[in-house]
């Protein structure tokens, strides 16, 4: 991350690398604390101490504590894009592309279950979860729009509305997976997130009715391929 020096001149490469290393150390320290004790119970002072810097120095790298959430989200989206791109290129249709998207999201969360659960809680506590249109919502909308152009998807709802609905289904499944079990004592991180996500997607694609008189929001059921 290139940052200008105080006099406006470019930061020397060695100094820039030092700043980048410090920023990474702060970021890693914050994630470790969020995972261990939660976002709300972690202060900027604790993050700074864990990273070996002064509290005031923290703000040279992250203007606010919630900026760490944005940094994590951007990193997660980069991972998603790297893994998902080849799967989307080989997908036969929009439904297969959406299933690939949900499957990849499941993989990412299950690889780091405790951190994923902690960061979801952090997004909710910070009020940023539904603040503006997310990259994921835009990705869903793009897949749907491409399917609509190819005649695979038909709906009175716009691609943007359906993208938002899919985002909501994903977050709901993630909250059920990461939340407390019914006995209130253990988290449900052992549950099958992939199954939850695919079920949620199927419910949106096909609805709840099996009767031929039921409404299929995407047009004829035989146009939806698995």
- Domain positions in the chain are 13-58, 67-223
Q: What is the pLDDT of residue 105?
A: 95
Considering the segment(s) 13-58 as one domain, its CATH architecture is Orthogonal Bundle (1.10)
Q: What is the pLDDT of residue 68?
A: 96
**Residue 180 three-state SS:** strand
d(CA 56, CA 166): 40
Which fold would CATH assign to domain 67-223? Tetracycline Repressor; domain 2 (1.10.357)
Does this chain's domain 13-58 share its CATH topology with 67-223?
Answer: no
d(CA 39, CA 126): 9
Give the bridge partners for 187, in sequence order: 180
Phi, psi torsion values for 173, nearest 5 degrees: -65, -40
- 78-107: buried (b, 16+ CB within 10 Å) or exposed (e) per residue? eebeeebeeebeebebbbbbbbbbbbbbbe
* Mean pLDDT of successive 10-residue stretches along the chain, which has 226 residues: 48 78 96 94 97 96 95 93 96 96 95 92 80 82 95 90 93 86 48 87 78 40 37
d(CA 108, CA 112): 7
């Amino acid at each position: 991350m290139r940052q200008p020096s105080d006099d406006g001149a470019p930061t020397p490469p060695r100094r820039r690398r030092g700043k980048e290393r410090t920023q990474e150390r702060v970021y890693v320290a914050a994630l470790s604390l969020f995972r261990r004790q939660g976002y709300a119970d972690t202060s900027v002072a604790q993050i700074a101490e864990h990273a070996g810097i002064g509290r005031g120095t923290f703000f040279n790298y992250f203007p606010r504590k919630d900026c760490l959430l944005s940094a994590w989200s951007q990193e997660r989206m980069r991972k998603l894009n790297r893994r998902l791109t080849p799967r989307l290129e080989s997908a036969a249709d929009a439904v297969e592309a959406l299933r690939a998207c949900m499957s990849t999201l499941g993989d990412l969360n299950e690889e780091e279950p405790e951190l994923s659960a902690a960061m979801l809680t952090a997004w909710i506590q910070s009020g940023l979860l539904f603040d503006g249109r997310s990259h994921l919502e835009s990705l869903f909308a793009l897949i749907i729009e491409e399917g609509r152009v190819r005649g695979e998807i038909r709906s009175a709802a716009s691609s943007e509305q359906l993208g938002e609905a899919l985002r909501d289904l994903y977050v709901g499944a993630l909250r059920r997976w990461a939340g407390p079990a019914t006995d209130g004592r253990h988290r449900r991180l052992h549950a099958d997130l992939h199954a939850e996500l695919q079920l949620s997607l199927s419910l949106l694609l096909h609805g709840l009715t099996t009767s031929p008189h039921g409404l299929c929001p995407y047009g004829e059921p035989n146009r939806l391929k698995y």
